[in-house]
Chain A
Amino acid sequence: MHVVQGGDPRAFEVLYDRHGGAAFSLAYRMVGKRAVAEDIVQESFLSIWRSKVRYERERGSVRTWVLGIVHHRTIDALRRNLVHDRRRASAEGIEERQEAPELTDVEAARREEAREVRAALQALPGEQSRVIELAYYGGFTHTQIAEMLDMPVGTVKGRMRLGLEKMRRELTGEVA
Chain B
Amino acid sequence: MSRDHDQYEENVGAYLLGALTELEAEVFERHVATCATCRHDFEHMRVASEALPRAVEPVIPPDSLKKSLMEIVNAEAREREKVARSSSWRDRLRMPQLRPAFALGMVAVLAVGVAIGVGVAGIGGGSSSQKTVAAVVDHASAPMGSADLVVNSDRAKGAVIKLEGMPQPGPNRIYEVWIHRGGQFVPAGALFGVNHGGSGSAAIPADLNGVDTVAITREQQGGTQQPTETPVMTFKLA
Contacts and interface: CB of A to CB of B under 8 A. Distances in A.
Contacts, number: 184
B77 interface: yes
B51 A171 contact: yes
B53 A67 contact: yes
A56 B68 CA distance: 27
How big is the B interface, by class?
Answer: 35 or more
Contact of B47 (A13, A121, A142, A172): A172
Contacts of B68: 42
B62 interface: yes
Interface stretch (B109-117, B119-127, B152-160, B162-170): B162-170
Interface string B72-104: 111011001000000000000000000000000
Nearest to A165: B45
A78 to B, nearest CB: 10
Interface residues of A, number: 78
A168 to B, nearest CB: 4
B35 interface: no
Given A65-B196, A157-B11, A168-B45, A136 B74 contact: no
A99 B49 contact: no
Contact of A154 (B10, B58, B165): B10
Contacts of B55: 114, 117-118, 121
A69 B10 contact: no
A53 B166 CA distance: 9
Contacts of B69: 16, 42, 45-46
B61 A114 contact: no
Contacts of A60: 50
User: What 4 A-B pairs come out closest when comparing CB atoms?
Assistant: A160-B13, A161-B13, A24-B61, A117-B55
29 contacts: A7-B77, A12-B70, A16-B70, A20-B61, A20-B65, A21-B58, A21-B59, A23-B61, A24-B59, A25-B58, A28-B59, A29-B57, A38-B62, A42-B68, A46-B72, A67-B50, A75-B18, A98-B60, A111-B58, A118-B55, A136-B49, A139-B18, A141-B20, A142-B20, A157-B14, A160-B13, A160-B19, A164-B17, A167-B48
